[in-house]
Homo-oligomer: A and B are copies of this chain.
Amino acid sequence: MEHLGKRKWIIAEGYIPGKSTGPGRAFESHETACILNTGGEPANIEVTIYFTDREPSQPYRFVVKAERTFHLRFNDLTEPESIPHDTDYSALILSDVPVVVQHTRLDSRQSENALMTTIPYCE
């Protein structure tokens, strides 16, 4: 139950498309940070959202339990404020124990969805 990964992760390309097609939550346009905590202690996560032309928004706080994965949808963040759609942003994800993050977007603005994923920058 070793804590694998890093404590600092950065997704530079953030953008939640403002429209969706298709049935239900699965096909709603969304952006996720999938976070895996392989270790035996819970991971306390703190996210900062950066914008083009205003002060960063933070902190967004949540916990990823020991030996669990959590697929965070940025669409679901509400405290301290929701992330506006159709707006450029970036995300800094800090954890108090090492975790692994992967970034994904599903864009369903058009009738056939598009997908992209990457491992973010970490250190």
The chain A residues found within 8 Å of chain B, CB to CB, are 4-5, 8, 10-15, 22, 26-27, 32, 34-36, 38, 50-53, 55-56, 67-71, 86, 88-90, 92, 100-105, 107, 109-123
Contact = CB atoms under 8 A, between A and B. Distances in A.
Given A12-B35, A36-B12, A121 B119 contact: yes
A51 B69 contact: yes
Contact of A70 (B4, B52, B111): B52
Nearest to A89: B69
A104 B13 CA distance: 8
Given A107-B115, A113-B110, A36 B52 contact: no
A73 B55 CA distance: 22
